[in-house]
Structure 1
Amino acid sequence: MASTRKRTTPWIVATAAIGLTLVGSQSAAGSSSAAEPPSTPVPVSTPDGQLASYVVNAKTVNPGQVRKVEKAVEAAGGVVVQSWPQIGVVVAHSKNGDFRTEVVTKAKGAVASAGPTRTAEVLEGTPEGVQAPWGPGKGQMKRAPRAADPVEGPTVPATGTPEQLESQQWDMRNIGVPEAHKTTTGSSKVTVGVLDSGIDPDHPDLASQIDVAQSVNCTAGGRPDTSATGWAPTTSDHGTHVAGTIGAARNGVGIVGVAPGVKMASVKVVSDDGYIYPEYAICGFMWAGEKGMEVTNNSYYVDPFEFWCGDQPEQAPALEAVRRAVKWSQDEGTVHVAAAGNSSYDLSNKTTNTSSPNDGTTVNRTINSSCKDIPAELDDVLTVSSIDQAGKLSSFSNRGLGSIDVAAPGSRILSTVVTNNGWGLKSGTSMASPHVAGVVALMRSAHPELNASQVVERIRAQATDTPCSTTAAGAPCVGDASENSYYGQGVVDAAAAVR
């Protein structure tokens, strides 16, 4: 069966004809098809005096245009928090309720789109020292529960002594990791960026695996912070669990990761309150591309919308800004792997959504094909669904013909946790994605001659064909063994990746 997954098309940012959504307008590229209803608007209130965060996208990516955008931000009563001239994206804070419209007017044609990155007030404040925005520089609110959070079981102690824990890693045997390790455990020249909540720097299975020089905190308004402890976990061990699956050391202690020979960078994009706002993700993708990381793992969706709708003027600018960051870093050679999500949702047949925005009052809204779960649904991001120990699609996993690339183990995965520097079980597509990131790291170690696009195609092509099956939820499977809505092009194969 021919692949139905959308491939990357040329991304030209030097012209106005690239379908960017202007404030108050709707672009052709961001529109739903004629057969679909428009998505439900979700107005974002930004009253005078309330600090709000925005992305402002330049119409043309060149230094002169980006400078015009920066000046327009300041003229509209904003502060440039971070500027990414490589992609023509400026992150700004402002207390001016009319900032969105004024920045477009004052830029005199230099701005393609401008929109908010969240529906809530910016309570963490504006980072200091933001008046020199070119390149990396140096309040409390709890996130509401969201359906697409990792469906993780309670963290539980692993049974047996630490040296025996590898025998409990059914997931590694399932995808051929022991066989792959006969060829390579990965190269220390390969770095995996773990875009998540931070990696425990003291864990015995992880301490030797972290590239401290490449690690960064992106939650300071989307501005890179390389302070010594900024990238460490504070309120969540999610990133620590993910990291263990990717690269826990083979050292006679605990578990072993898919690629224990590679290095990992802790790229913190999850705030202490549990949010991954667009500016945080953009910072993470740009950092990975600038540092030449071979692969990133992204076990999240970008808040506050589970699906960002391209036909909505208030959502399309952030969608476009994240897309630019992903595409730029891909062009720099980084392969991005992302979790499909845990809403048991058919990504190829979008109709409604009730979980967004998760930083304010949720809306029961109509959605359509212009609405994207990002980064999972961006072009040539490797999107991963979850399977259980029986090889069936996990009941929580999202699915969709043409939306899933490959599947990997994600139910009851044993990996590293922060508590007592120990090990525990978690479930979710968040746990499936790092298996694929680890396999990509092995492939890039064994075959450094391959570019990012070739790696993506080989991961898809080498996956083990898996026919449709049923799940407890009874969700229909569409397709055949070569590609279907449950497993994409199959279960990822570590052994094939290193041959």
Structure 2
Amino acid sequence: MRRLLTGATAVALGVTGALVMANSGTATSHKEVRYVVAYAEGSSAASARAAVKAAGGEIVSENSAIGVATVSAGEDFAEAANASSALVGAAQDRIVGANTPEAAGKARKQDVSNVETEFRDAKGSAPKAPKPKDSSEPLSGLQWDMKQIDSAAANKTERGKGVRVGILDTGVDGTHPDIAPNFDAELSRNFTTDIPVDANGDTVDGPCEDEPDASCEDAANVDENGHGTHVASTIASPVNGIGISGVAPEADIVNLRAGQDSGYFFLQPSVDALTYAGRNGIDVVNMSYYVDPWLFNCTNHPADSPEDQAEQITIITAMQRALDYARAHGVTLVAAAGNQAIDYTKPQTDATSPDYASEPGEAAYVRDLLDPESCVSMPTEGNGVIAVSSTGQSERKAYYSSYGNGFVDVAAPGGDVYDNPAGTRDLTGAILAAYPYNMAVEEGAVDPATGEVIAPWAVADCSSGTCSYYQYLQGTSMASPHAAGVAALIVGEYGSRDWSGKTLSPKKVEKVLLKSATDKACPVPADYTYVRHLPNGNTATSTHTCEGGEGPNGFYGSGIVNAKAAVTR
């Protein structure tokens, strides 16, 4: 994996603990803005706080474990903070107290390829689950993904009991019948606050009063997006006679919510969630996202203003510190490779960043990234992070999955609805996992009057007397949790007991995960052309080049994760 070395080890701070409330000054501008600042290495906490105050900022909260603080200040704060030797820089978060938009509703962050739900325009009936041949879960016949990684064979001897898996995502529906038995409500936390609108007045998470709890501060067992619940279910849905089973069906699910309802993920929640994971005995975390607003964070791109350069340096520095902290405290870090269908080791063009307006008038612009070494996507390209690409049913790399020789560490099933002989859209080629009932109703998948599924991307299991709901999604976001689940099995199988249950060093987990993966060579020829016959009658083609031959290689890394091989001594 290519790395950008930023000297991002934790600074020596004269404060213990992690989240500390402190006041250090007063905002100096008429418009209050929220910033995230990283303290410079070698600076004391006192000198960094003084620098914040001198720049006109007031510390709202401080993550003293890694030297990062959230600051409230005026619009002129960033320039002063970036000039201070006691601070790495400032990343603007959002304007505080923006007006609620007239238009109700909830926007969704759109991925570059928008692949996860690109089949939501499909009509017809939901797919029926083949009757299980054994005592498997009722919908196990639809879980081709678990067959691909041989999870059933692994679960005969290892199910992840005593292992804690942190879900850094949009939240987890802890009340879902196929999640609740493994959901750790006591440890789960929500590190976010809903944002009704951005600086341009555009809808982000939507008016808080329109949400089920009528609040901008959601409980730690809530997911008003659905993404995090799907991820958690893939990792650790229990074997309980309901719906499906996850890769590690007895692992504990810990919701460490770092994402907005809309799917945006910002810096402060991400670093706070990671440090929390390190302090609370979390063994594995799954990160199926990149930190907004920059898909790629560049330290010195000529198209970026000095303020934007400092912001991206701050994101890289703060995230790497948090990743280092978590890994040093026993947390194995697993992340999605991305759905941009690009080779991360080659020059690219980023036309999507910044994707969130933290100041009025801000909009994305085109940057030619000619030197792949100078720009990184966080957290996936952070040091110590296992990057996971996506496969379809035939084991080919999914058409949307990003790749790159030296970037991808392993591959795992993430779905590909066009991976079939005809090259036409088949929803069962995606990944089935838990769907929050409220989201299923809001998105038109379930009739609230009858509980009936009315959309082909959703499936219900009512065999227990109470219906639980599931949805099809595809993406590297769905591949990463399969690898995280196998990592949980590895901790369960080879780890030792400690105060939190089980523990195993992330270095050993990664070694077993990569060594046990099933070798998968590059296609022949290595220039693989995808042909997709779209529902509108058009045909889409794209060619991706796999470098590395039999492996490791750019499509599959060390291979497709294999649960059985991972726990076979």
TM-score, L = length of structure 1:
0.82
Tell me the residue number matched to 1:426. Answer: 473
Separation of aligned partners in 1, 2:379 and 2:115 = 16
Question: 1:84-483 residue pairs with structure 2 within 5 A?
Answer: 84-94=63-73, 96-103=74-81, 109-111=85-87, 113-118=88-93, 121-123=95-97, 142=107, 145-147=110-112, 151-154=116-119, 157-160=126-129, 163-187=137-161, 189-220=162-193, 229-311=218-300, 312-360=309-357, 361-367=363-369, 368-369=371-372, 370-411=374-415, 412-418=430-436, 419=440, 421-449=468-496, 450-469=504-523, 470-472=528-530, 473-483=542-552
Alpha-carbon contact 1:145-1:358 (below 8 Å) kept: no
Alpha-carbon contact 1:415-1:423 (below 8 Å) kept: yes
The alpha carbon displacement at 1:141 in A equals 8.3
Identify if the C-alpha distance between structure 1 residues 85 and 216 changes in structure 2 by more than 3 Å, giving closer, same or farther.
same
The alpha carbon displacement at 1:14 in A equals 5.3
Tell me the residue number matched to 1:25. Answer: none
Identify if the C-alpha distance between structure 1 residues 114 and 143 changes in structure 2 by more than 3 Å, giving closer, same or farther.
farther
Identify if the C-alpha distance between structure 1 residues 80 and 10 changes in structure 2 by more than 3 Å, giving closer, same or farther.
closer
Identify if the C-alpha distance between structure 1 residues 402 and 415 changes in structure 2 by more than 3 Å, giving closer, same or farther.
same
The alpha carbon displacement at 1:115 in A equals 1.9
Separation of aligned partners in 1, 2:156 and 2:265 = 38
Identify if the C-alpha distance between structure 1 residues 275 and 346 changes in structure 2 by more than 3 Å, giving closer, same or farther.
same
Q: Confirm or deny that 1:82 pairs with 2:57.
A: no
The alpha carbon displacement at 1:10 in A equals 8.6
Which amino acid letter does the alignment assign opposite residue 470 of structure 2? Answer: W
Separation of aligned partners in 2, 1:179 and 1:267 = 30
Instruction: Give aligned-pair identity as a percent.
Output: 34
Alpha-carbon contact 2:115-2:474 (below 8 Å) kept: yes
SS of equivalent residue, structure 1 residue 239: helix
TM-score, L = length of structure 2:
0.72
Which amino acid letter does the alignment assign opposite residue 165 of structure 2? Answer: V
Separation of aligned partners in 2, 1:371 and 1:498 = 36
Separation of aligned partners in 2, 1:263 and 1:8 = 34
CA RMSD for the aligned pairs? 2.9
5+ residue gaps in structure 2?
13-26, 196-215, 301-308, 358-362, 416-429, 441-445, 447-467, 497-503, 531-541
Count matched residues: 441
Which amino acid letter does the alignment assign opposite residue 439 of structure 1? Answer: V
Tell me the residue number matched to 1:58. Answer: 39
Identify if the C-alpha distance between structure 1 residues 235 and 249 changes in structure 2 by more than 3 Å, giving closer, same or farther.
same
The alpha carbon displacement at 1:171 in A equals 0.5
- Between 191-200 and 270-279, report the one with greater CA deviation: 270-279
Which amino acid letter does the alignment assign opposite residue 300 of structure 1? Answer: Y
Alpha-carbon contact 1:14-1:61 (below 8 Å) kept: yes
- Between 339-348 and 72-81, report the one with greater CA deviation: 72-81
Alpha-carbon contact 2:2-2:381 (below 8 Å) kept: no
Alpha-carbon contact 1:406-1:491 (below 8 Å) kept: yes
The alpha carbon displacement at 1:97 in A equals 2.2
Higher Cα Rg, which structure: 2
The alpha carbon displacement at 1:318 in A equals 1.5
The alpha carbon displacement at 1:154 in A equals 4.5
Tell me the residue number matched to 2:499. Answer: none
The alpha carbon displacement at 1:200 in A equals 1.2
Separation of aligned partners in 2, 1:413 and 1:122 = 38
The alpha carbon displacement at 1:67 in A equals 2.8
Separation of aligned partners in 1, 2:470 and 2:128 = 10
Tell me the residue number matched to 1:30. Answer: none
- Between 487-496 and 81-90, report the one with greater CA deviation: 81-90
Separation of aligned partners in 2, 1:436 and 1:167 = 21
Tell me the residue number matched to 1:23. Answer: none
Separation of aligned partners in 2, 1:235 and 1:82 = 25
SS of equivalent residue, structure 1 residue 279: helix
5+ residue gaps in structure 1?
16-45, 126-138
Separation of aligned partners in 1, 2:471 and 2:142 = 11
